[in-house]
A and B are shown apart, each in its own frame.
Chain A
Amino acid sequence: MQRFSAFALFRQALNGQKGWDRQWRDPEPKPAYDVIIVGGGGHGLGTAYYLAKKHQVRNVAVLEKGWIGGGNTGRNTTIIRSNYLFDESAALYDHALKLWESLAEELNYNVMFSQRGVMMLVHNVHDEQVFKRHVHANRLNGVDNEWISAEAAKRFCPPLNIAPGMRHPVLGAALQRRAGIARHDAVAWGYARAADALGVDIIQNCEVTGIDRDEAGRVSGVQTTRGAIRTRKLGIVAAGNTSVLMAMAGQRMPLESYPLQALVSEPVKPVFPCVVMSNTIHAYISQSDKGELVIGAGTDAYISYSQRGALHISMHTLEAICELFPMFRRMRMLRNWGGIVDVTPDRSPIIGKTEIPGLYVNCGWGTGGFKATPGSADLFAWTLAKDEPHPINAPFNLERFGSGRLIDEAAAAAVAH
């Protein structure tokens, strides 16, 4: 792997930048692998990287039906935070946030992680009580989160409208200063490049069409559009398509796949210093380094795999944005798209083993999986390598829907998150 550095950039400049290698190979699938990961998004590529790096499992393939990072990794609004209510969630998401802080160095790839702060707005008494509870719970768990007044929120984010006559006035905010955003494509590419350098085969345009099992019921391989491949350990990291893949092994899942929409504006000069979220009027917004405002809407009401949603969902969010930030009322939107998110009944993910020997699953990240990418990948790699969950992801098992030990972030946040 050619290392990236200022010196390397300078040296290549003498040669017109023509001496760079491919960042990852384009291998033909081998007949067998020790571990196969299905899904070449951030979580899947990261899993392969940590398997190779931390657990010395290097005979690994990542199968991707399209191109890497082309699913939800390339469709999200890149918000990274860890201010979740329950102990299990705080541990999980803060593990990820700590990995984010050194990820660019770890991968030798600029993931443009920017800890510009995430501010969650409070509009009514109920919000205030809930968010103060979140702040206290977070601080007990060692996760930074602070309560600030409406005036302090305005100082932190000058475009914010805190006029008292608003339909949903801003009464205050919860601010996590360590939170922020990152460049989503760079996360997929950085993991792909680093995993490839450690010997992982990244196989694109390779759709899994069946899961093979031996007489004992154990996973023995997969059928793909590029032929059969044998393996004893299969990790499904396929977001919205998890139910479809798991059905190939006869496993029903507690998942429903919904379209989640986002949109970006025309690029403008830096005007927006942080991330602002409002659960109550359901909008979240930040400005990318390209200058586009990145705006997230809610999920559509119905199950769909169509990767598009209805206009009234986006309109609802844009109305909230225009009320909160009047200076954006005349901005033009450039693109609007949908990603298919796999939502669990308690809005917490599933990372672990299944009843089928050799079949592992990492799914259910719903509307907020990007923030967890390094943590999710690290813990899933541990689970695959050691055949048992790490203490952090042990509560996020599939059995909790039978035992009733749910981690109910759905009720905690009162919205999809």
Chain B
Amino acid sequence: MLLIPCPYCGPRPEIEFSYGGEAHIARAADPRRVDDAAWTSFLYLRSNRRGDHAERWRHAHGCGRFFNVVRNTNSDHFLATDKIGEPRP
């Protein structure tokens, strides 16, 4: 089980969290002006990186807040964590 560093509550066990998928995928500001390729990319295409991966977690059974982390998907080690809205580490 992962020990996940919540930036608000500190390290907590994985069962308190829900996974939010890849981070930094922004919905278009004006969806009417977006073509099919951009919608496909936003909805479905993911980097699915082997290595350092930026992703979101939500401390569902704790503070309830979303945050971003960088985790290595080979080792499952957490490398950095930041609050939503902060610059990418």
Q: Is B a genuine binding partner of A? A: yes
Number of A-B residue pairs with CB-CB distance less than 8 Å in the complex they form: 68
Decide if B2 touches A302 in the complex (CB within 8 Å): yes
B55 A306 Cβ-Cβ under 8 A = no
Q: Please name the residue on chain A nearest to B4 by beta carbon.
A: A302
Would you give the 0/1 interface string for B1-45, flagging 1 where the beta carbon is closer than 8 Å to chain A? 110000000000011011101100000000000001101110111
Per CB-CB distance, the 4 closest pairs between chain A and chain B, nearest first, are: A243-B48, A254-B44, A310-B1, A301-B19
B contact residues, total (Cβ < 8 Å): 29
Q: In the complex, A302→B74 CA distance in Å? A: 12
Q: Is A312 an interface residue, CB under 8 A from the partner?
A: yes
Chain A residues with CB under 8 A of B19? 301-302
Flag if A304 contacts B45 (CB, 8 Å). no
Q: How far is the CA of A306 from the CA of B73 in the complex (A)?
A: 7
- Tell me the complex Cα distance, A304–B36, Å: 29
Contact between chains at B37 and A402 (CB < 8 Å): yes
18 extra A-B contacts, CB within 8 A, seeds A302-B2, A306-B74: A244-B49, A247-B47, A254-B40, A254-B44, A255-B46, A256-B21, A301-B14, A301-B17, A301-B18, A301-B19, A302-B19, A302-B71, A304-B76, A306-B75, A310-B14, A312-B15, A402-B39, A402-B40
Q: Is the C-beta of B53 less than 8 angstroms from some C-beta in chain A?
A: yes
Counting CB contacts under 8 A, is B61 at the interface? no
Q: A256-B46, A303-B48, A401-B40 are in contact. Are A310 and B73 (CB under 8 A)?
A: no
CB distance from A197 to the nearest CB of B (A): 35
Cross-interface CB contact of B46 among A244, A254, A301, cutoff 8 Å: A254
- Are A303 and B36 in contact (CB-based, < 8 A)? no
Contact present for A305 and B1 (CB under 8 Å): no
Task: Identify the interface centre among B17, B37, B44, B73: most chain A CB within 10 Å of its CB.
Answer: B44
Q: Is A411 on the interface with B (CB-CB < 8 A)?
A: no
Which residues between 296 and 311 of chain A lie within 8 Å of chain B, taking CB atoms? 301-306, 310-311
Chain A, Cβ-Cβ closest to B1:
A310
In the bound complex, how far is the Cα of B53 from the Cα of A247, in angstroms? 14
Give the distance in Å from the alpha carbon of A399 to the alpha carbon of B37 in the complex.
10
Determine which of A243, A257, A303, A310 lies in contact with B55 in the assembled complex, contact meaning CB atoms within 8 Å: A303
Q: Are B44 and A302 in contact (CB under 8 A)?
A: no
Q: Which one of B36, B53, B75 lies within 8 Å of A402 (CB-CB)?
A: B36
A169–B48 CA distance with the chains assembled, in angstroms = 39
Instruction: Determine if A115 is an interface residue (Cβ-Cβ < 8 Å).
Output: no
> Is A345 an interface residue when CB atoms closer than 8 A count as contact?
yes
Nearest-Cβ distance from residue A247 to partner chain B, whole angstroms: 8
Q: Which of B2, B22, B48 lies at the interface centre, i.e. has the most chain A CB atoms within 10 A of its CB?
A: B48
A-B contact pairs, 25 of them (CB 8 A): A241-B50, A243-B46, A247-B47, A252-B45, A254-B45, A255-B46, A257-B73, A301-B14, A301-B17, A301-B18, A301-B19, A302-B55, A302-B71, A303-B53, A304-B73, A305-B50, A305-B73, A306-B76, A310-B2, A311-B1, A312-B14, A312-B15, A401-B40, A402-B36, A402-B39
